[in-house]
Amino acid sequence: MVNLTIDNRKIEAEAGRFILDVARENGMVIPTLCSHESIEPTGSCRLCVVEAKQGKKTRIVTSCLYPVAEGMTVDTRSERVMNVRRLVLQLLLARCPESEQLREMAAEMGVEAEDRFTPDKDNVKCILCRMCVRTCEKVVGVSAIGFSYRGTEKNVCTPFKEESTTCIGCGACAYICPTGHIEMESTGDTRTIWGRTFKMKTCKVCGRYFAPEDQLVYISEKTGVPAEDLAVCISCR
């Protein structure tokens, strides 16, 4: 265990844990976009920056990837931290001016789009955090999407931008996306995502459509549980 101070509070934490996790466990709020408990952090969005002082050195660090240490002093809202966060948010807003989530976050932090950063002409809502790609690969295990092109043209898509044969329509990518970039529409007995339409299965207890048939087949093959036994929605389990 190590002893540190976060925002003037003395805290004891397990050595090696990340500042963000420790701060959250102690009820402190640090804004993030690319952090989720289901996947490893990669430090993409840079919104979680904090000021960490160790000995005589004070540095701005990404709290989702920076481990706590004995005697460390952390400030999550210093003027320097807030300036960096505002700048990061302005850059993200310039890339994704249409993202409702980013706009809300900016409004909360009193950040407005700046003229010096030219808004992206394509109006994408993707901040290239890879949350969707990594979730599809590491959590779902199908790798149906990835990144194409480079530089400003870089974007997330299915291979060759064609209808994905490996996608199971689970929607985990849309769920995890922090900026609402991935479009998914579930209407009645169908769900459309990544340009492909999936047939939905009804829950055998309540009768509501709850998951794509392809997803249940995939889980059944992975776990050995008969697909029919999986046909019960979360509320009825």
Which of the ranges 44-52, 68-76, 118-126, 228-236 carries the binding residues for ligand FES, by CB under 6 A? 44-52
Do the strands 2-6 and 49-54 form a parallel or antiparallel pair, or are they unpaired?
Answer: unpaired
Cβ atoms of residues 72 and 4 within 8 Å: yes
Beta carbon of residue 26, minimum distance to ligand FES (angstroms, whole number) = 17
Amino acid 170 reads C
Per-residue b or e along 48-61, where b marks 16 or more CB atoms closer than 10 Å to that residue's CB: bbbbbeeeeeeebb
Selected binder of ligand FES within 44, 76, 164, 215 (CB under 6 A): 44
In angstroms, rounded to a whole number, what is the distance separating the alpha carbons of residues 18 and 190? 41
Rounded to a whole number of angstroms, the minimum distance from the CB of residue 65 to ligand FES is: 6
Q: Which is nearer to ligand FES, 48 or 167 (CB)?
A: 48
131 binds ligand FES (CB under 6 A): no
Output phi, psi for 25, to 5 deg: -60, -25
Tokens of 173: 């990518």
164 binds ligand FES (CB under 6 A): no
Of 42-50, 77-85, 213-221, 224-232, the segment contacting ligand FES by CB under 6 A is: 42-50
CA distance 218 to 142: 9
Is residue 32 near ligand FES by the rule CB under 6 A?
yes
The reply to whether 135 sits near ligand FES by the rule CB under 6 A is: no
Judge residue 211's burial from the number of C-beta atoms within 10 Å of its C-beta, 0-12 exposed, 13-18 middle, 19 or more buried: buried
- How is residue 153 written in tokens? 């043209």
Tell which positions 60-79 bind ligand FES, by CB under 6 A: 62, 64
- To which H or E segment does residue 221 belong? helix 213-223
Residue 11 DSSP SS3:
strand
Tell me: does residue 132 bind ligand FES (CB under 6 A). no
- Of 31-39, 90-98, 162-170, 223-231, the window that binds ligand FES (rule: CB under 6 A) is 31-39
Q: Is 235 helix (H, G, I), strand (E, B) or coil?
A: helix
Least CB distance to ligand FES at residue 11 (A): 19
158 belongs to the binding site for ligand FES (CB under 6 A): no
Q: Does 23 bind ligand FES (CB under 6 A)?
A: no
- Distance in angstroms (rounded) separating the CA atoms of residues 227 and 219: 8
| Total binding residues toward ligand FES, as defined by CB under 6 A | 13
Which of residues 28, 47, 168, 173 is near ligand FES by CB under 6 A? 47
Kindly write out the interface string for residues 176-205 of this chain, putting x where it contacts ligand FES by CB under 6 A and - elsewhere.
------------------------------
Where on the chain is the footprint of ligand FES (CB under 6 A)?
Answer: 32-35, 41, 43-48, 62, 64
